[in-house]
Structure 1
Amino acid sequence: MRFMIIVKASPESEAGKMPSEKLLTEMGKYNEELVKAGVMLAGEGLHPSSRGARVQFSGNKRTVVDGPFAETKELVAGFWLIQVKSKEEAIEWVKRCPNPMESDSEIEIRQVFEAEDFGAEFTPELREQEERLRAQL
């Protein structure tokens, strides 16, 4: 099972405050544990929303809205993509994570959909296309 581990933004991360050397060292050790355990697939920090944009969809119309975005607690400051056996195992890994904000913070855990989750609507042709695209990655 794959899980996206979402680090929620804080006022400090949205202001562009960089992590301390201590936190970077702790995160490096944590990432090393994830890699050595064969769990980590990807993981990165993100720039503040002031450097981002959103594309809003309304029918065929697309509207681009530049950041920053107001609701800090709803924004993402970073992520990991991990592969583990269960949600419980994902939770255990996250509980071992250094506090990513050096203040109060929150990390969200969300399971990634797999091909079999889509049922009959995910036809053999669509499965083949998905496998072909994954092989190209």
Structure 2
Amino acid sequence: MRVMVMVKATEDSEEGIMPPAKLFEDMGKFNEELVQAGIMLSGDGLKPSKMGKRVAFDGPDRRVIDGPFAETRELVAGYWIWEVKDMDEAVAWVKRCPNPMMTPSEIEIRPFYEMEDFAEIASPEGQASHDRAAEGLAAQQKSKG
């Protein structure tokens, strides 16, 4: 089961305040544990939303919205993508994580949809298109690695 583990933003992270060296080291050690356990597939921190943009869709119309974005507690400051056996394992790993922020914080865990979740709606053409995209991504990763 693949999950996205999202570190929620705080006022400090939205201000671009960097963590103290000790927290940076502790998070690095935790990431090493995840890699050694074969759990972590990828992960990164995100710059504050003032450096981001959103694109709003309404039918054929597109509207670009510049950051910063309101509702700091709903924003994501960083993420991991993990491969775990189930949600209980993901929760257990998150509970081992150092507090990723200098103030109270939250981490959200969300499972990814897998292709089998779309079995009822996937046409052969749609399945083939998704398969080609996955093969292309794998080839890109292999050529970069």
Report the Cα distance in structure 2 between the residues aligned to 1:127 and 1:22, rounded to whole angstroms.
Answer: 47
What is the CA distance between 1:120 and its match in structure 2? 2.0
Partner SS, residue 42 of structure 1:
strand
Looking at structure 1, the residues matched to 127 and 31 of structure 2 have their Cα atoms a distance apart, in angstroms, of 32
Give 2:49's aligned residue. Answer: 49
TM (norm. structure 2) is: 0.91
Query: What is the RMSD of the two structures over their aligned residues, measured on CA atoms?
Result: 0.9
Task: Spell out the pairing of 1:83-98 with structure 2 (5 A cutoff).
Answer: 83-98=83-98
Q: 2:64 corresponds to which residue?
A: 64
Gap runs ≥5 in structure 2: 138-145
Q: Distance in 2 between matches of 1:126 and 1:30?
A: 39
State the shift of 1:125 in Å. 2.7
**Residue aligning to 2:136:** 136
Cα distance in 2 for residues equivalent to 1:130 and 1:57: 23
Q: Distance in 1 between matches of 2:73 and 2:31?
A: 24
Letter in 2 for 1:56: A
Where 1:70 maps in the other structure, the secondary structure is coil
> Is 1:108 the equivalent of 2:108?
yes
Partner of 1:10: 10
Percent of aligned pairs sharing the same letter: 56
How many Å separate the matches in 2 of 1:87 and 1:93? Answer: 10
Secondary structure class of the residue paired with 2:29: helix
Q: For residue 127 of structure 1, report the CA deviation from its aligned partner.
A: 2.2
Structure-1-length-normalised TM-score = 0.96
Distance in 2 between residues matched to 1:114 and 1:61, nearest whole Å = 30
Moved more, 118-127 or 76-85: 118-127
